[in-house]
Amino acid sequence: MTLDKVVTKPHDALAALFAAEMAAMNEVIRRRMASRHAPRIPEVTAHLVEAGGKRLRPMLVIAAARLCGYQGDQHVNLAATVEFIHTATLLHDDVVDESDQRRGRPTANLLWDNKSSVLVGDYLFARAFQLMVETGSLRVLDILSNAAATIAEGEVLQLSAAQDLATSEETYLQIVRGKTAALFSAATEAGAVVAGADQVVIDGLRDYGDSLGIAFQMADDLLDYQGDSGATGKDVGDDFRERKMTLPVIRALAAADDEERAFWQRTIGKGQQVAGDLEQAQALFARHGTLDSTRDTAFEWAARARAALAGVPEDPVRDLLADLADYVVARLR
């Protein structure tokens, strides 16, 4: 796999191809955010939902359904469901502890308070749940309820793994699945299920979503140390300051001598960070080649995503999905 072939953005091509359905989904979102009794809700959500982002998750639903020949309109509701779940997760991620605020962590919830973030997030979850029930498919409900549990489990796991130097690559992968891959794979699987695809196609699209999500999140975790804040929307070193055990740190720690181990113990384990520590962390990554090896692993997951599409019928949309897998890691140096 080379990067040379990535000349246009597959995401933009998919957005253009499914423009009508994405517009219909936006309309569902707008309508379902409305609350007769609590007008404050759309105020809070409009900002988040309409800020847009790439709408990658709902697009995966629509692409998977259409790739499987779906002609109905349930995939639009399903896409809105997935976007609601994603937005609710973002809102709940915004909740901070007083201690975090004291540590000078850049609070994501500048616009509204903890309580609103939690309750409006709950409202979006409930709306997502209602939309899912309307699809009338118990199988879709099963997929999405399992995804919701994996997401919540991964979030709790991330909370307890942060600052824990004993975090393994296996645990990291579980966190990444909860954080990102579970909703990606639920999106592609549910899209295929709603279209009534064969089981082998459903499995292929689910595995594609899983691997794509892992590649995507691994790339994000790497970019956090590589300084491309334009691509991630985060400042360089945010994860370091929040003492997150992402793959570069786990691997640097595995290769560490006693002195280096003491460095990680102090900065990540105890959170005693001083000026120059981030630079020192970068130097240790360079010494052990852990950013390179993380990039290699992200590329492996992207390749797995592409390979998972082997059993999916030949189609231009399939090719775009394959290109998307390359694209999410193409931003890595």
Q: Is 95 in the site for its own copies (CB under 8 A)?
A: yes
The amino acid sitting at 194 is V
Nearer to its own copies by C-beta: 171 or 293?
171
Q: Are 147 and 190 in contact (CB under 8 A)?
A: no
| Both structure tokens of 29 | 């979102």
Helix (H) or strand (E) holding 201: helix 199-226
* Site map (CB under 8 A) of its own copies, residues 131-170, x = contact: -xx--x-x--xx--xx-xx-xxxxxxx-xx----------
* Site map (CB under 8 A) of its own copies, residues 116-135, x = contact: x-xxx-xx-xxx-xx-xx--
Nearer to its own copies by C-beta: 178 or 204?
178
To the nearest whole angstrom, how small is the minimum distance from the Cβ of residue 40 to its own copies? 5
State which of positions 302-331 bind its own copies (CB under 8 A).
Answer: none
Nearer to its own copies by C-beta: 159 or 254?
159
Torsion of CA 288, 210, 154, 167, to 10 degrees: -20
Binding residues for its own copies, rule CB under 8 A, total 48
Nearer to its own copies by C-beta: 113 or 279?
113
State which of positions 17-56 bind its own copies (CB under 8 A).
Answer: 35, 37-38, 40-41
Q: Which of 55, 92, 179, 295 binds its own copies (CB under 8 A)?
A: 92
DSSP conformation letters of 50-85: HT-TT-HHHHHHHHHHHHTT--SSHHHHHHHHHHHH
Taking CB under 8 A as the binding criterion, the range among 2-10, 66-74, 107-115, 187-195 that sits at the site for its own copies is 107-115
To the nearest whole angstrom, how small is the minimum distance from the Cβ of residue 43 to its own copies? 10
Residue whose C-alpha is closest to residue 209's, from 296, 331, 132, 302: 302
User: What's the half-sphere exposure (Cβ side, CA atoms, 13 Å) at 12?
Assistant: 4
User: How would you class 143 by CB atoms within 10 Å of its CB: exposed for 0-12, middle for 13-18, buried for 19 or more?
Assistant: buried
Q: Is 276 left (phi over 0), alpha (psi -120 to 50) or beta?
A: left
Binding interface with its own copies (CB under 8 A): 35, 37-38, 40-41, 92, 95-99, 101, 113-116, 118-120, 122-123, 125-127, 129-130, 132-133, 136, 138, 141-142, 145-146, 148-149, 151-157, 159-160, 171, 174, 178
